[in-house]
Structure 1
Amino acid sequence: MEKNQKVTVLDIDFDNVTQDDLVDQLNQCIHSKQKIFVVTANPEIVMYANQNPDYMDILRKADYITADGIGIVKGARILGTPIVERVAGYDLMLELLKKADQFKYSMYLVGAKEEVIVKAVKKIKKEYPNITLKGYHNGYFKLSDKEVMGKVLQAQTDIVFVGLGFPKQEKWIQNYLDQAPKGLVMGVGGSFDAFTGTVKRAPKFIIKLNLEWFYRLIKQPTRFKRMLMIPKFLIAIYKEKRKNI
């Protein structure tokens, strides 16, 4: 596994790497049958980790943590340790699907509503026909459910995408990797919804303007409470900056 330069943002060590380089590194890891834990962290995850030591401990076991969210990129810049670019979880998932199709990797999907995960399976089979999709399960189960865990472990796939939302998905991934012999496992949050068109992603020009968060807020007003974490994150960043002066 290649060692990337790290950038620390509120006690979380992010990989300072471009998406293209990261995808190449992850592909090498999958090819050599390693176990890889990938976290795509946004400001909400960073703040949650700082308030929940058990979750912070899980993140510190991750092999790669990417800056998923312009807030992380801006926070790193404020701290004087810029991150080369944002690597969004959804975009990373799409790139890994391309690699999986190219190299004929096997895969398992966990998460989302039943109708969404079924749509995701159908789309993968159609658009990435060389992927061996060994199974899937919706996200409505308890962390202690041994049957779901057993099925995924038995499949021994090269890649497992877990869309349970944080912190549940990272807790499940940790339990899985404690028992799995190989494979890349990544929490993808609500990416299955975006992948299937159940939830529309922002147009490209809005993403380039770093306003995707605003687009999502307009489309999903229920996210307002979650969005309040962004100003709290920025306040914490400026406090951290003052400590370092």
Structure 2
Amino acid sequence: MEKNQAYVEIKGIPFVKINNQQLLHDHLYPGIEAKKKLFVVTANPEIVMAAEEDEDYKQILQKADYVIADGIGVVLGSKLIRQPLPERIAGYDLMYQLLEKANHDGLRCYFLGAKQDVLNKAMANIKIKFPNLVIAGSHHGYFDINDASVAQDVKKTDPDLVFVGLGFPNQEKWIHEHSNQFSQGLFMGVGGSFDGLAGYVKRAPKSWQKLNIEWLYRLIKQPSRWKRMLQLPRFIWHILRRK
């Protein structure tokens, strides 16, 4: 990571100490316009704990240009170590704002990940909402992440924005492994955001989001996520223990 911006280190992961608007208008938008190559990680407690157990993954996150707090648990953790982050920056919302930027400027976007039918539906909805952006290309997420031909296919489309929805840690590992083939472009892991854009998974109501309990809404709607949710108390326990 470039250390020219303030950051808060939580369990070895450097989270940018910045709010959503500053991130977009002072960093990402200018970087896109200058045709820089940027690697954005949207990290929640699950990702932090995964990095705790995978040193290679941790090093990939440490090398990203921007690691943002996509999870209220990370913000809470920053407060516990008395280095509070300004706010949670939801990965889905950040992706949506980048799509708005792409629509405004006619940028080229590549979508990588999810099942083919989900991806097709997501792109159809994106084209309706953002008719001026260019869908440069796409590929489903069911492939060997070491398959160099997929990265070559992405490169041929000359994208300005590459959204990678392979789930962690694969999406960050794919970006790290292959982004050296590109001279420019913003690369961002987006987890299950394609399911949301396709309309198959609904976001929590705004009232839930404002109360920072979107995680609870997702758990109610998807009870099978309960094991994943256990990473939040484990993450907080690790912070308290270290403190």
Q: Normalising by the residue count of structure 1, what TM-score does the alignment of the two structures yield?
A: 0.96
Shifted more, 66-75 versus 122-131: the winner is: 122-131
The superposition leaves residues 99-149 of structure 1 with CA deviations (integer Å, 9 ceiling, x where unpaired) of 111111111000111111101111121111111111111111111222221
Cα 1:93–1:2 change in 2 (3 A) is farther
How far residue 238 of structure 1 moved from its aligned partner, in angstroms, is 0.4
Which residue in 1 is equivalent to 2:7? 6
How far residue 4 of structure 1 moved from its aligned partner, in angstroms, is 2.3
Which residue in 1 is equivalent to 2:215? 213
Identity of aligned residues (%): 50
Q: Which runs of 5 or more structure 1 residues have no equivalent in the other structure?
A: none
In the alignment, the residues of structure 1 paired with residue 129 and residue 215 of structure 2 have an alpha-carbon distance, to the nearest angstrom, of 28
In the alignment, the residues of structure 1 paired with residue 165 and residue 10 of structure 2 have an alpha-carbon distance, to the nearest angstrom, of 24
Aligned-residue RMSD, C-alpha: 1.2
In the alignment, the residues of structure 2 paired with residue 156 and residue 87 of structure 1 have an alpha-carbon distance, to the nearest angstrom, of 28
Which residue in 2 is equivalent to 1:166? 168
Q: What is the correspondence of 1:95-134 to structure 2 with a 5 Å cutoff? A: 95-134=97-136
In the alignment, the residues of structure 2 paired with residue 218 and residue 124 of structure 1 have an alpha-carbon distance, to the nearest angstrom, of 27
How far residue 176 of structure 1 moved from its aligned partner, in angstroms, is 2.1
How far residue 40 of structure 1 moved from its aligned partner, in angstroms, is 0.5
Q: What is the correspondence of 1:27-46 to structure 2 with a 5 Å cutoff? A: 27-46=29-48
CA contact (8 A) 1:156 1:181 kept: no
Amino acid at match of 1:30: I
Q: Normalising by the residue count of structure 2, what TM-score does the alignment of the two structures yield?
A: 0.96
SS of 1:60 mapped into structure 2? helix
How far residue 3 of structure 1 moved from its aligned partner, in angstroms, is 3.1
How far residue 98 of structure 1 moved from its aligned partner, in angstroms, is 0.7
How far residue 201 of structure 1 moved from its aligned partner, in angstroms, is 1.2
In the alignment, the residues of structure 2 paired with residue 124 and residue 199 of structure 1 have an alpha-carbon distance, to the nearest angstrom, of 15
Q: Which runs of 5 or more structure 2 residues have no equivalent in the other structure?
A: none
In the alignment, the residues of structure 1 paired with residue 3 and residue 228 of structure 2 have an alpha-carbon distance, to the nearest angstrom, of 34
Amino acid at match of 1:41: A
SS of 2:63 mapped into structure 1? coil
In the alignment, the residues of structure 1 paired with residue 3 and residue 16 of structure 2 have an alpha-carbon distance, to the nearest angstrom, of 11
Shifted more, 185-194 versus 206-215: the winner is: 206-215
Q: Does 1:224 align with 2:198?
A: no
The structure 1 residue matched to 2:84, chosen from 73, 76, 82, is: 82
SS of 1:49 mapped into structure 2? helix
In the alignment, the residues of structure 2 paired with residue 190 and residue 113 of structure 1 have an alpha-carbon distance, to the nearest angstrom, of 11
Which residue in 2 is equivalent to 1:152? 154
Amino acid at match of 2:68: T
SS of 1:235 mapped into structure 2? helix
In the alignment, the residues of structure 1 paired with residue 3 and residue 138 of structure 2 have an alpha-carbon distance, to the nearest angstrom, of 30
CA contact (8 A) 2:40 2:67 kept: yes
SS of 2:136 mapped into structure 1? strand
In the alignment, the residues of structure 2 paired with residue 194 and residue 137 of structure 1 have an alpha-carbon distance, to the nearest angstrom, of 17
CA contact (8 A) 1:153 1:176 kept: no
Amino acid at match of 2:185: G
Q: What is the correspondence of 1:11-26 to structure 2 with a 5 Å cutoff? A: 11-24=12-25, 25-26=27-28
The superposition leaves residues 142-172 of structure 1 with CA deviations (integer Å, 9 ceiling, x where unpaired) of 1122222111011121000000000000011
In the alignment, the residues of structure 2 paired with residue 23 and residue 119 of structure 1 have an alpha-carbon distance, to the nearest angstrom, of 27
How far residue 2 of structure 1 moved from its aligned partner, in angstroms, is 9.1
